[in-house]
């Protein structure tokens, strides 16, 4: 039972929201899911150029897949991308994205 002095900021997990008649999954949902519970998953190796591009908010190639795709890093959930027309549109939250002009944090020479 919660304490009276404890202020609850958000009870539960936000699943997503309805936008223009479609469901858009939330970032907290991505972090709570296991890859085996999702239909489409793109696993990126840690330190890969694709991972850095995703963290910077860039799109990735998608092939012929369509729909929401869970982006994972070595099997751990990171966020969402939406596949359509051969690209994965990045849905990583903008406040969490890495600055494209900043030095590569994984580059030992920077």
| CATH number, domain containing residue 79 | 3.10.450.720
> In the predicted model, what is the mean pLDDT of the chain?
90
Q: Is the whole-model pTM more than 0.75?
A: yes
Residue 11 lies in a domain: no
Strands (E), the chain: 16-19, 22-25, 41-44, 60-61, 67-73, 76-84, 87-90
Residue 108 lies in a domain: no
Higher pLDDT, 109 or 76: 76
Residue 20 lies in a domain: yes
The pLDDT score that the predictor gives to residue 96 is 95
Q: Range of 35's domain?
A: 16-96
Tokens 């099997």 belong to residue: 75
Residue 84 lies in a domain: yes
Structural domains in the chain (count): 1
Residue 88 lies in a domain: yes
- Residue 17 is given by DSSP the state E
The pLDDT score that the predictor gives to residue 1 is 59
């Amino acid at each position: 039972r919660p304490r009276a002095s404890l202020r609850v900021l958000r009870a539960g997990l936000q699943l997503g929201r309805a936008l223009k008649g479609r469901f858009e999954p939330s970032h907290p949902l991505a972090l709570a899911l296991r890859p085996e519970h999702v239909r489409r998953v793109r696993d990126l190796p840690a330190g890969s150029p694709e991972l850095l591009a995703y963290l910077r908010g860039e799109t990735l190639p998608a092939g012929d897949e369509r729909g929401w795709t869970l982006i994972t890093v070595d099997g751990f959930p990171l966020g969402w991308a939406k596949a359509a027309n051969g690209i994965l549109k990045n849905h990583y939250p903008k406040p969490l994205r890495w600055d494209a002009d900043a030095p590569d944090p994984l580059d030992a020479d920077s």
